[in-house]
Amino acid sequence: MQPVFQRPISLKDVATHFCPGCQHGLIHRLVADAMDHFGVQPQTIGVASVGCSVFLYEYFDIDVVEAPHGRAPAVATGVKRARPDNFVFTYQGDGDLAAIGTSEIIHAANRGELFTAIFVNNTTYGMTGGQMAPTSLPGQRTLTSPEGRDVTIDGYPMRMAEVIAALDGAAYSVRVAVNSPKNILAAAKAIKTAFSYQIEKKGFAFVEVLSACPTNWGMSAVQANERVAKEMIPYFALGTFKEKN
Amino acid sequence: MAKVVIDEARCKGCALCTLACPKKLIRMSDKLNRQGFLPAVFPAECSRDCTSCALCAQMCPDVAITVFRAEKGEKP
Ligand SMILES: Cc1ncc(C[n+]2csc(CCOP(=O)(O)OP(=O)(O)O)c2C)c(N)n1
Ligand code: SF4
Ligand code: SF4
Ligand code: SF4
């Protein structure tokens, strides 16, 4: 028998702390798979954020710098500028990237820094128990919006992939999902394309991945996965918003 | 002819793989694993119908699934 699907070598063979049905694990696999694809694992430096993905260094077989909350793009800027021959990526949640770290990601993208940002949008602050994030959907009940997000008070969900695409410094910006095999294959391809932008020195690349947080959505894994298609994708359209040659 | 190996100890019983399989070959066990989850099971007799498409493995958030395909001339 010949293996047709195996764990990527860049992903350590260890159990994760993620909740059942949490798609951080799947997104980790796709990132590791892209590293294997380009053979960049030995020279990769990951920049972890604060959130449920904080244990990046436990799961990827690479060097990792742990950044303060929201500051991963600033740390990655320093790492990449000091070590231009290394492959550098950030991995950030929506509380990290679109709330406390909005300034860092926007300016890093605008400066056209040559690292890759992986942005996991699960419409909530997962690690701290499900508070409202800038990406929470209108009407979404969270710990801090028990009556549902009221856009007249809390504003509207931010479409980060489009925001980043609007900046001249950004070379590639996409939104993908991992809720079905078809979308997973498209996500895998987008992450590889984003990596190629750094490898070919074409510029800053941003991949927003819609992801389920069954625990804080108060749903089973299957229901949470269904919510991605039913509620998230209609608001956060999948697509390529920037693709510079 | 293919073989799907599910790492029972790693599986968190989310059931997403059962949705991904176009042939509905994966079912959930009624026996708890060491972690306290009801794991997914690929019954050995399903090898015959499995196409090794690996969609189940693509969908697994815990990378608990490995898929094998029979080599040319290999007997089941
Ligand atoms: C400076 C600072 N402020 C607040 C916190 C508390 N905190 C930890 S994780 C987190 C939000 C994480 O949410 P997100 O980025 O969406 O990631 P997820 O856990 O959903 O993957 C917050 C506010 C912190 N650790 N440091
Ligand atoms: S709380 Fe949410 S984001 Fe965090 S591990 Fe659990 S499901 Fe994943
Ligand atoms: S490899 Fe394809 S056919 Fe076989 S169990 Fe997995 S999803 Fe089903
Ligand atoms: S998708 Fe993975 S973790 Fe979920 S039930 Fe199937 S094998 Fe287990």
pTM beyond 0.90: the answer is yes
Which residues are A209's β-sheet partners? A120, A176
> In terms of residue numbers, what domain contains A45?
24-243
On whether residue A19 sits in a domain, the answer given is no
On whether residue A14 sits in a domain, the answer given is no
Taking only the tens place, the pLDDT of each residue in B22-39 is 999 999 999 999 999 999
**Which pair of tokens denotes residue A101?**
């770290």
pLDDT band at residue A231 under the 50/70/90 scheme: very high
The ligand minimizing its distance to the Cα of B54 is: 3
Looking at residue A193, its pLDDT comes to 98
User: No. of H helices and E strands in chain A?
Assistant: 11, 8
**Contact residues for B30 (Cβ-Cβ < 8 A; gap 6+):** B38
Taking only the tens place, the pLDDT of each residue in A192-220 is 999 999 999 999 999 999 999 999 999 99
Residue B60 Cβ contacting ligand 3 at under 6 Å? no
Q: What is the ipTM of this complex?
A: 0.95
Residue B65 Cβ contacting ligand 4 at under 6 Å? yes
For chain B, what is the radius of gyration of the CA atoms?
Answer: 12
Residue B31 CB neighbour total at 10 angstroms: 8
Number of domains composing chain A: 1
Ligand 1 center from residue A127 Cα (angstroms):
6
Asked if the Cβ–Cβ distance from B67 to A1 is below 8 Å, we say no
pLDDT band at residue A79 under the 50/70/90 scheme: very high
Phi and psi, residue A95, nearest 5°: -65, -40
On whether residue A95 sits in a domain, the answer given is yes
Closest CA of chain B from A8, distance in Å:
9
**CATH code assigned at A215:** 3.40.50.970
On whether residue A64 sits in a domain, the answer given is yes
Give the integer Cα–Cα distance in Å for B9 and B12.
8
Domains observed in chain B: 3-68 (3.30.70.20)
